[in-house]
Amino acid sequence: MTDAAVRVRVPAGLRQYTAGEASLDVDAGALGETPTVGALLDHLAGTHPDLERRVRDEQRRVRRHVNVFRGGDNVRDLDDQDTPLEAGDEVSIIPAVSGG
């Protein structure tokens, strides 16, 4: 990861939508003047549209069964998609796992 990047961790279940990549480095400068989680997800929508459909719904809200973390904090407990990002941050996309 470069010093100017935000790293996105992709779980195994979603890697088929990132050409098998476990992480994606996104230049923080590509996310606008004030980088946010929403800007990051918008960027990923352009570069990995199949991933976008699994993470956000048609209204561009993070799906109920998906959690997005900045570092160790769930962005729903922060400012949701308005949560600010800076170079060096790590964002993890974590789909809920259920079964019985």
Q: Please state which CATH number belongs to domain 5-95.
A: 3.10.20.30
Asked if residue 37 has pLDDT above 80, the reply is yes
Question: pLDDT tens-digit profile of 39-68?
Answer: 999 999 999 999 999 999 999 999 999 999
More confident residue, 60 or 98: 60
Q: What is the domain partition of the chain in residue ranges?
A: 5-95
Predicted TM-score of the model (pTM): 0.92
Q: Does residue 8 surpass a pLDDT of 70?
A: yes
Q: What is the pLDDT of residue 97?
A: 77
Residues 6+ apart with CB under 8 A from 85: 6, 28, 31, 35, 36, 37, 39, 40, 70, 91
Calpha distance 96→26 (Å, rounded): 24
